[in-house]
Structures are given as structure tokens and as C-alpha cells.
Structure 1
Amino acid sequence: MRNLTLRQLRSIQAISRHGTIAAAARQVGLTAPAVTLQVKQIEDDCGLALFDRTSDGMRLTVAGEAVLSAANAIDTTLRGLCEQIDSIKGVRSGTINLGVVSTAKYFAPRLIAAFRDAYPEIVVKLRVGNRHAITAELKDYKLDIALMGRPPMEFPVTSTFFGDHPLVIVADPAHPLARERDIPRERLLLETIIIREQGSGTRAALEGFFISDLDRLAAASVEMGSNETIKQAVMAGLGIAFISAHTIAFEVEMGRLAVLDVADMPIRRKWYAVCRQERIAAPAERAFKAFLVERGAKHLPLLGALYPEGAVRAG
């Protein structure tokens, strides 16, 4: 495999993206026979097929996935090299492919705007998705940095802490519990609790809070797949919900949601900027991570403003 060329790898990337030789050839500026030859050369070199030829187009084999992953890693390294050379020349520019889990979308625009004020020539491309999708894109080198609460364990990463992530119970302001203080966790299990889907960090934190009562939690809970749906359900009086405090600042300010004063809450988690461990960070990425460490927490919603006056805030 030592004779691989960038042109061959880019042909693999293009076929994977478009599914056909013809479309890939148009993207890379070669003829279709030339792209076919690029693929055949790699297949001959490794002794394995890289694609399954199907009626729906060309689909990567396991070997093809491995070659694509390497191609993406090489692309990322080369882009980082270009930006590092620019940095040595004194150019403060570059591009950051930033992914954020859905809960972080409520503050990510403020972070990006503040960062762009300091580095106006750095372009930040934002991708929002659930934790599974963002982790998969980080693994496939489609993202340079991901903002999330639980760094993945499936592959080596470096994680940079930049702020606290409080999780709270909310209800309709007219709910009887909104007037109570120091509510015991057992009392919550008498209500319908609206929770996120399996695999979300918020769901995992709630299950940890009720670790000795998971059966009762399952019986009392209703699962919904997005923070917006959960907030609408609570405002409609369908139940109470466990949710990130960073997603509800507007609704609390407008009097549409109330944060319940629950004993041993808020549950405090952390926000991390996560990168693949083996990647060499480009200057733009290093600048963004330094910004997050120095100033990121200032752009997160303030938890204290969400509570009713006099409420007990344990945790």
C-alpha cells in the first residue's frame, strides 16, 4: 500500500460520496475509465475489493471503509499542514468543521460569534446532530472538533473542558410542584417524567440519578426524541421533564417553564471540546480550543437566573 497516491484516494472519496463512477469522475476532473483504473490499482495493491457493485450504486466494502477512513485522515492532516504554514507566515485564517450535540445548539451560535469577533478570518462550519451522529462524524474525520458532554470511548480522543453543564427538572409554572422547595426524588416518580431517547447524555444522567429506582423511572417515564418536543410537552401539561438548563433559558424568562427545586439538583455535568487523539490540530483549531478554555463558560446561560427567588439550589 506504499504506492497509494492522493488522486487514488480522492477517487475513493468521490465514489463513496456520489455512488457512481460517472459522478465521481465529474467531481475529481477525470474520465470515468481513469477513475475506474484508480480503484483497480488500489484493489490490486491490497488484494481486496473496495466496492460492491449494486443496482443502487457502488457501496463500500469493509476494506473500502478502511481506505476511506485513511483518505479522510490524510485530507485532514494536509489541511492542517496548509493552515500551519499560513500561521507561520502570519496568516490568522483557516476553517474549522465544528460539530455540536443537539443540546449545545442553544449556545453554540454565541460561542461562534464571539470567536469570530476575535478571529474574523477563521471560518467555522457548524454541524448539529444527536450524540450518535456527531460521534460518527468525528470518528470518520468529517469533524475537527465536537462539543459534547460525554467524550466517546470507541476511539482515542482528547477532551478539553470548557464549562459546566447543569441538568434540571422543569414543569409548567402552574404545576403544584413549582411552588414546593427541596422536593425529594421519590416525589418525582409520582409524576409522568418526559425523558430523552436511549443513548443521549441527558438520559444517562437521569438514570444515574435514579439508579436505585430504574424500574419505577421506566414505569413513570415517556420518551421523546428532542429537547424542543420535550419543552412543548411540558408546556402543554403532559408531565415534568429532565433537561439541560442551557436549553430552557428563554422559556423560563418568558414564564412558560419553571425549574423545580429538587433535592440534590442540579446534576452538574461538563462540556468538552473533543478531537481525535492522533490528529495534529491546525492553528485555527488550537485558537478555538484556547478561546473555549479562556472564555467559553462566559457564553453559557447562567443557571442562577433560571430559579425562582429563594429556591434551594443543591448539588
Structure 2
Amino acid sequence: MRNLSLKHFKTVQAIIKCGKIVSAAKMLGLSPPALTIQLRQVEEEFQLALFDRTSDGMRPTAAGLAFFETAQAIEEHLGLLEDKMDAIKGVRTGSLRLGVVSTAKYFAPRLMAAFMKDHPDIDMRLAIGNRAQTIDNLRNHDIDIALMGRPAKEVPVRASVFGDHPLVIIAPPDHPLVAARDISKERIAEEHFLIREPGSGTRISLEIFLSDVPGRIDDLGVEMASNETIKQAVMAGLGIAFISAHTIAAETESGRLVILDVVGMPIRRQWFSVMRTDHAISPAMATFNDFLMRKGAMYLPLFGKLYPDRRDDIART
């Protein structure tokens, strides 16, 4: 491997990201023949094909994926080295790629703004996606830290709790159950639910909650792609929904949505800061994670304001 250089690793990264030699060459500012030579050098070094050449483009083989993963790790360590050198020089700079599940987008901007006020020279970038997309971003080293309701099991991670995450059932203000108290699980299970896609954190929690109601999770409800769509559908009277309380602050305060008083609710989960265990921790990552542990909960919506009739119950959950 002594014959390999950083340009070889960048070549493979570019081909995997672009899928075609021509596109990868353009991205790197090289000619396609020059890029092909560099790829051939890597394959000759290992005596393995890194890509299958197909009519649809370049598809990485197992060897190609292994090489790509190492290239990503090298890139991370070089970035970490640069951050450490800046730290040694006393320069409080760096970069941080933050990924959040879609539910967290309701508080992530305020949290980021507070952090950047204290650390204006740290360049932050935000990626918002559903749970599967956020896990893919972790897997592909596209983000440094993820904020999510359940730590990923698909990749090796370290996770730290930075705040509570209550989950509730909502209805339109004219729903017959709005005035009811201590609604049983069996009664609420009779309602028509609007739900997120399979694999989402809120859907998994709802499935667990209703799992002891015979046959209920076999036909859970109508799937919708986002919390915003679900909220609009509930306000339109299309059903009720199980949702993060942190997504409905504006709607409950204005009276457009009501939290139903269901026995066993709110379900208390936590928000986690998640990093890959094999990801080198940069000074910027360490600084942001420390901020989350000390102050992160301050930027979560105050649940007591959303659920004033259940403050004593909330305190005990």
C-alpha cells in the first residue's frame, strides 16, 4: 500500500459519490483518462476490482466499499488534525455537521443559534431527515453528531441523553374525546390513527403502546410522510395521531390541536446526542456535545404549558 496516495482515496470517493468516471473527473478537476489510470493503480495494488462496470454506471464491489470506508476515515482524521492544530494555536474554530431526525427540527435551530452565539467561529451545517435517512448519514460519515429519539443500532454509536421527549395523542378541538378524562387504551385504540412511516421512532412507540390490544397493530392507520402533514390532517378531522409533544407547541397554544387525556400518557422518552464510536471526536464535536449535556434541555419546548391539566402526572413520569 506504499504506492497509494491521498489522490487515490479521493478518486474512489468521487467515483462512488458520482457513479460515473466522467462526473467524478469533473468533480476533481481531472480528465477521465487520468482518473481511470488512478483507479487502475488502486485495483492493481490490491489485485481486486473496486467497481463493477455496468450500463448504469460504476457500482462499488465489497472491496470498493471497504476502500471507501477507509477513505472516509482518513478524511475525518485529516479534518480532526486541522482542528487540533487550530486548537493548539488558540484558534477557536472548526466545523460540525449536525444531523437531526425530522421531529427535532422544531427545536434544533434555536439550539444551534444558542451554541453559535457562544462559538461564532465554528461552522455548523444542519441535515434534517427521517430516522432512516439520519442513520444512513451516520453510516456514510456524512454527519458528525445526530440528534434522535432512539440511538441507532445499525451502526456502532455512543449516545448521551440531553433531554426528555414526551409523546402524546392529539385530536382536533371538536373531537368527542376532548372532554373525556382517563381514556383507556382500549377506547383510544378504536380511533382512526394517522401515523408515520415504518421505522420512525413515534410509530415504534405507538406499536409498543398498542401491542397488547388484540389485532390493533395489524392495521395501525393511514401513513403520512411528515409530522406537518399529520398535524394538518388531524386539524382537518381525518383522525387522531400519536406524536412528539415538541412538534405541536404552536398548534396547542392556539387551540387548533388538543392533547387527549389517555391513561399511560404522556409516554416519556429521551433525546440523544449520537456519535459513531469509530469517528474521531474533533474539538468542535466535543464542545457541542458538552453544550448539549449542560444546556440542551433548556431549548426543548416546555411541555407543562402544552398539558396544563396533567402537570402532576408529568412531574411523576
Measure how far apart 1:308 and its partner are: 4.5
Distance in 2 between residues matched to 1:111 and 1:66, nearest whole Å = 36
The match for 1:172 is 172
Contact 1:72–1:142 (CA under 8 A) maintained in structure 2? no
Task: Indicate the SS of the match to 1:256.
Answer: coil
Instruction: Please list, as runs of the form range in 1=range in 2, the aligned pairs for 1:1-315 lying within 5 A after superposition.
Output: 1=1, 3-213=3-213, 215-219=215-219, 221-309=221-309, 313=313, 315=317
Contact 1:181–1:312 (CA under 8 A) maintained in structure 2? no
TM-score, normalised by the number of residues in structure 1: 0.95
Distance in 1 between residues matched to 2:187 and 2:105, nearest whole Å = 31
Task: Indicate the SS of the match to 2:262.
Answer: coil
Q: How many residues are paired up?
A: 315
Distance in 2 between residues matched to 1:5 and 1:310, nearest whole Å = 62
Contact 1:182–1:312 (CA under 8 A) maintained in structure 2? no
Contact 2:304–2:311 (CA under 8 A) maintained in structure 1? no
Which shows bigger deviation, 52-61 or 211-220?
211-220
Task: Indicate the SS of the match to 1:176.
Answer: coil
Distance in 2 between residues matched to 1:301 and 1:8, nearest whole Å = 48
Using a 3 Å threshold, how does the CA distance of structure 1 residues 57 and 217 change in structure 2: closer, same or farther? closer
- Kindly provide the amino acid, as one letter, of the partner of residue 242 in structure 1: F
Contact 1:107–1:299 (CA under 8 A) maintained in structure 2? yes
Distance in 2 between residues matched to 1:281 and 1:246, nearest whole Å = 29
Task: Indicate the SS of the match to 1:313.
Answer: helix
Q: Percent same amino acid among aligned pairs?
A: 54
CA-to-aligned-CA distance 1:139-189 (integer Å, 9 cap, x gap): 111111111111111221111211111100000011121111221111101
Segments of 5+ residues of structure 2 without an aligned counterpart are none
Distance in 2 between residues matched to 1:74 and 1:293, nearest whole Å = 29
Distance in 2 between residues matched to 1:2 and 1:247, nearest whole Å = 53
Contact 2:135–2:154 (CA under 8 A) maintained in structure 1? no
Distance in 1 between residues matched to 2:2 and 2:302, nearest whole Å = 53
Task: Indicate the SS of the match to 1:179.
Answer: coil
Which shows bigger deviation, 222-231 or 139-148?
222-231
Measure how far apart 1:214 and its partner are: 5.5
Task: Indicate the SS of the match to 2:100.
Answer: strand
Distance in 2 between residues matched to 1:24 and 1:112, nearest whole Å = 33
Distance in 2 between residues matched to 1:209 and 1:258, nearest whole Å = 20
Distance in 1 between residues matched to 2:45 and 2:255, nearest whole Å = 65
Distance in 2 between residues matched to 1:310 and 1:63, nearest whole Å = 56
Task: Indicate the SS of the match to 1:177.
Answer: coil
Measure how far apart 1:249 and its partner are: 0.6
Task: Indicate the SS of the match to 2:159.
Answer: strand
Using a 3 Å threshold, how does the CA distance of structure 1 residues 182 and 312 change in structure 2: closer, same or farther? farther
Segments of 5+ residues of structure 1 without an aligned counterpart are none
